[in-house]
Amino acid sequence: MTPEEIEAAVQAGMPQTIEDLEGLAAIPSVAFPGHPEAPVHEAAAFTERLLRAAGLPYVRQIPIEGSFPAVFAEAPAPPGAPTVLLYAHYDVQPAGDPALWKTPPFEPTRVDGVLYGRGTADDKSGVITHVAALRTFQGRFPVGVKVIIEGQEEYAGERLQHFIEADPELVRADAMVIADVGNPYIGDPALTTSLRGMAAFTVEVRTLAEAVHSGAFGGAAPDALAALMRMLTAMHDEAGDVCVPGLTRGTFSGQGCTEEELRATAGVLDGVSLVGTGSVADRIWASYAITVTGLDVPDVHGAINAVQAVARARVTIRIPPSGDAKTALQDVTDFLRKIAPWGVQVSFSDFVTGAGFRAGAGGRARGAINRAMAHAFGQAPREVGQGGSIPLVASLSRLFPEAEILLYGAEDDHASIHAPNERVVLDELRRVITAEAIFLSEYAQG
């Protein structure tokens, strides 16, 4: 098929594609504890049917230990053709407060070419991208195809990661497409070539056998909470840049958003400044970030007049792809131990680390997706980063160092993923599907 024929076929298939997305997004497949499990299984079965209908000869659900099934599909490669793995996930974030939604979260609603509903973007748009792109070929795929659609990415993605690490052959491919990101702006194509890794730990400070009266002892007794606050604030300088020795700042070679755009998307209040220095892309894609994500301290309500004996904090570090998570964890915990005041007792626990990702210079797959996006969007993609982590991508790139990994999708920066009023722009979805279908055809041709 020529790119023009593929584009026309995708366009002609859009009514079916939208109906499929509406059907899938109507299923509240929230794979978090405390939510009903039946809809998650229903979404798996729905996904399985979609992949069969897209012409894949082998489709099955794969049990994942301690998790919901992944849906796996396969079509053998024509002689001499490479194989492509297509990834997305069918589970979604909880809807949160329904009062914040303008339309019911699990009743997908179309308004002026935009489909609203939980999961319409993250990541049921990814599932539908693969289904619709594959359907274009009517069962005669130009490349070998493997599809894996995860069932618990939003809550416990490490379970699929462990599964794949135990049996990598199942997903072995020459190119891997992760359709769970998007373009910064509608119609402005981008490939995500850099992801930050992460590390986290809990720090505990102890000063006294137990809390003591702040009138009788305050002023002389060492307060664990005061010590912890000094330690936590010492990790940033006046400008808000991380100042822990060893955590050096990076630069991002592509172009990111402006400070004004970041202020708007993050909802920064009037008169409040951003933190850190350098370009926004350098700060959120190529440098370390440290955030205190939890504190164990007495609640304001019911606080008593006492000097605290113990205080705890949860600390998260975002790691640029050039950095190493374990080294960063060591650097930060060493620093906190070193600057702890008054000889307080400091201990660390509950460590988590996950690697980041940086795409290689690019080979045959990268050339094919560049041409495909240029056709579908009218311009070649630019490179963007993402400040968040997708641990599965780090695993795939470690297990298959030769494979080219491509990240793209229909979740633009204003898709409100994980937030109320999540949405996908249907024209954007069409362009992403077109790009993926042309990519499969171009990649086969070399």
Report the interface residues with Zn ion, using CB under 5 A: 122-123, 180
| Cβ at position 390, least distance to Zn ion in Å | 8
Catalytic residue among 20, 48, 74, 153: 153
In the block, residue with structure tokens 């010590």: 227
User: What is the number of alpha carbons within 13 Å of residue 241 lying toward its C-beta?
Assistant: 16
Q: Residue 203 has which token pair? A: 């720090």
Residue nearest to Zn ion (CB): 123
Q: Which is nearer to Zn ion, 81 or 115 (CB)?
A: 115
Catalytic residue among 20, 22, 91, 436: 91
Q: Which is nearer to Zn ion, 22 or 150 (CB)?
A: 150
For strand 190-195 and strand 382-386, is the pairing parallel, antiparallel, or unpaired? parallel
| Cβ at position 446, least distance to Zn ion in Å | 31
Q: Which is nearer to Zn ion, 96 or 245 (CB)?
A: 96
| Cβ at position 149, least distance to Zn ion in Å | 12
CA distances to 43, 384, 423 from 22, rounded to whole Å, are 12, 29, 12
| Cα 217 → chain centroid | 48
Q: What are phi and psi of 39, to 5 degrees?
A: -65, -30
The one-character DSSP state at 77 is P
Q: Of the candidates 194, 183, 181, 192, which has an alpha carbon nearest to the alpha carbon of residue 377?
A: 183
Q: Give the Cα separation of 113 and 47 in Å (integer).
A: 23
| Cβ at position 123, least distance to Zn ion in Å | 4
Q: Which is nearer to Zn ion, 127 or 329 (CB)?
A: 127
Q: Please enumerate in sequence order all residues whose Cβ is within 8 A of that of 140, keeping only pairs 6 or more positions apart, or say none.
A: none
Q: Which is nearer to Zn ion, 178 or 332 (CB)?
A: 178
Q: Which is nearer to Zn ion, 128 or 315 (CB)?
A: 128
| Cβ at position 4, least distance to Zn ion in Å | 32
The one-character DSSP state at 92 is B
Q: Of the candidates 402, 395, 388, which has an alpha carbon nearest to the alpha carbon of residue 180?
A: 388
| Cβ at position 89, least distance to Zn ion in Å | 6
The vertex-229 CA angle with 225 and 232, nearest 5°, equals: 135
Question: 74 an active-site residue?
Answer: no
Question: 259 an active-site residue?
Answer: no
Q: Give the Cα separation of 149 and 392 in Å (integer).
A: 12
In the block, residue with structure tokens 């993402």: 386
Q: Which residues belong to the active site?
A: 91, 153
